Amino acid sequence: MISTPKPRALVTGATSGIGKAISFALCDAGYEVIALGRSKANLADMSAKNGIRPLALDLTDREALAAAIEDETIDVLVNNAGIMPPMGSFADMAQSDIDTTLEVNLSATLATTRLVLPSMIARGQGHVFFTGSTAGHAPFPNMAVYAASKAAIASFAAGLRCDLSGNGVRVTEVVAGRVETALYRDALTEDARAEMYSVFQAVQPQDVAHMLTTVLAMPPHVDVTRFDILPTAQFVGGGGFATKDQK
């Protein structure tokens, strides 16, 4: 009997948080998952799960990325890799932090999508996900560059969907609110992060992964172009949080 090959997914930023949860969820859903990240140690731990293939490289290394995936047929691309620079006024930001944020959050994401997309178009099927943020859709203080990078992702995802209309390739932006991950590790102190997560019940990475696989399982003629996933206490339009006294 000839076995049917598993569909293949590429997840960037897969070594922790949302990316790791998505990698395991896709694996459980029957995908062969190429888990891309920079931490060899974390990837080695993940590879113990049958169906996850680690790929350790820096996403900003264009040549290495192209060489690693040029012969891969990718059915699902999850552009999840991202960083948050130290929080503060834009006027006080280091130019290196500005450049790195835009390179990782925007340029590397576009470059990865450009490598994967032609094969999807040729086959008339595929799904591209982008991990966005509420910061890309509403103003937040001390996050101007991060917000700009995520707003650009939102605009790109919407424009890409227009480009691909009728080609059978779906595009979805994942607009995440406050999710309990290591994203704020370099932006806030450990005490500040603990305090931030203590005042409300945050969305967990597994929640985002569950929603993504639910969207992915929709019929091919249905394209969920964007979904917002927020803590119940978070205002939809911004970063504030409701209290029990608010109606």
Q: Report the relative pairing of strands 32-37 and 52-56 from DSSP bridges.
A: parallel
Among 159, 175, 172, 173, which residue's Cα sits nearest to residue 222? Answer: 172
DSSP 186: T
How far apart CA 147 and CA 247 sit, in angstroms, is 29
| Catalytic residue numbers, as ranges | 146
Contacts of 37 (CB under 8 A, 6+ apart): 12, 13, 14, 15, 16, 19, 43, 54, 55, 56, 81
Contacts by 19-23 with C-beta closer than 8 Å and gap 24+?
19/78, 19/80, 19/81, 19/131, 20/46, 20/205, 21/204, 21/205, 21/206, 21/208, 21/209, 22/78, 22/80, 22/205, 22/208, 22/209, 22/212, 23/52
